[in-house]
Amino acid sequence: MSGCHGICRSPWSAIQAPYICLDFQEFQELTFPVALISLPITEGIILGITLLFAKHKGANLRKLGLKKPSLRIIVIVSFAAVLLLFLAGSISLVEEIVLGPEPDAESLVYAIMPRDVVQLIALIGISLALVGPVEELAFRGFVQKGFENSFGKTTGLLIASILFGLLHGLNSLRAIIPVTAVSLFLGYVWQKTDGNTTASAWMHGIYDAIAITITYFAYV
């Protein structure tokens, strides 16, 4: 494994759910990324809270936007995920140029980066099947939809995106701006697909899967 050469500010590390941080030396001693354990836990908590609030509001999964997208939409959002990756990476790069290297960058990388191909496949699976669906269900299907109903589409999109960015600021304060930008993009796509949370979840998951794959092979 090589040292960090700019890749530490990976857009994947920015968008992933908050996890419990350990000391850098502890990360080095682990034979697996702590994200393999922390992501299912944090996503499970987010999902549980979302479903409880949805039940309280009388909203079923259909109302939260879980509906079948067309093949055309799946193809479009898959390509859009690649563009989103460049956007988040560019913002992170500008932050690093302006502010200098992030002190905790290596710790963040060791927290999320798989040590072998099996772990890589596991994290890709978690991204596609858990992170994307859960976070989009929460922040697009429930939070953004709720704020849009109360304040209109533009304000609802902005509020939900800022909250999404602030949540991921628990990983790193520098994650707030790129993740907010990512959330604005995802929220806009969600609006343009008529509130199809499945479509934005797939886009979110593809984004994460590509980013962690790039990060992994950059360190092999």
Q: Where are the domains of the chain?
A: 65-219
| pLDDT > 80? residue 176 | yes
Q: What is the pLDDT of residues 118-162, one digit of tens each?
A: 999 999 999 999 999 999 999 999 999 999 999 999 999 999 999
Q: Which tops the pLDDT comparison, 178 or 106?
A: 178
pLDDT band at 208 (very low <50, low <70, confident <90, very high): very high
Q: What's the pLDDT at 19?
A: 45
Q: Which tops the pLDDT comparison, 125 or 29?
A: 125
Q: What is the pLDDT of residues 190-199, one digit of tens each?
A: 999 999 999 9
Helix 153-168 to helix 176-192 angle (10° resolution) is: 140
The beta-strand segments (E) located in 45-143 are none
Q: What's the pLDDT at 29?
A: 65
Q: 66: phi > 0 → left, psi -120 to 50 → alpha, else beta; which? A: beta
Listed residue (136, 146, 148) closest to 208, CA to CA: 136
Q: Which residues contact 178 (CB under 8 A, 6 or more apart)?
A: 11, 14, 15, 87, 88, 91, 92, 95
Listed residue (114, 130, 134) closest to 213, CA to CA: 114
- pTM of the predicted model over 0.85: yes
Q: What is the pLDDT of residues 78-111, one digit of tens each?
A: 999 999 999 999 998 999 899 998 877 777 777 7
The token pair that represents 128 in the structure block: 């596609």
